[in-house]
Amino acid sequence: MNDTLSVEVVTVPPMRLLTVQAPTVPDKSGTRAAWRKLTEVLPQGDPRLADPDTGYVCIPQEQWAPGVETLYVGLRVGEAEVVPDGTEPLDTPECCAPGCAFMATRLI
């Protein structure tokens, strides 16, 4: 049998996210609370949203080995001159997947 594996390297362009920090807890309540807070300040239809149907979960790279304690949930925005209270801007550089640690989730 001759199996082959096809790998496609994808370049992820730089982007700006507005994020809310979420502690990781076994019942996932911190993540759910962060998503609620984020979608309250950036609801569907908000003109700042660049891709309203995709949410992002960002984990600081230094936490992978010892264990993830904090993550950030985010939504992609175009220009975000005003950062809503309780959110943090996160500018991501261009990178190549799969080495780029982004997990995107369709929200619809």
Integer angstrom CA distances of residue 36 from 31, 71, 73? 9, 15, 10
Burial environment of residue 21 by CB neighbours within 10 A (0 to 12, 13 to 18, 19 or more): middle
pLDDT at 107 over 60: no
Averaged pLDDT for residues 20-40: 90
d(CA 44, CA 48): 10
Q: What is the pLDDT of residue 108?
A: 45
Q: What is the pLDDT of residue 1?
A: 57
Q: How many CB atoms lie within 10 A of CB 71?
A: 21
Averaged pLDDT for residues 8-27: 86
Query: Residue 99 — very low, low, confident or very high, per pLDDT cuts 50/70/90?
Result: very low
Prediction pTM value: 0.73
Q: Where are the domains of the chain?
A: 12-106
Whether 74 and 19 have beta carbons less than 8 Å apart is answered as yes
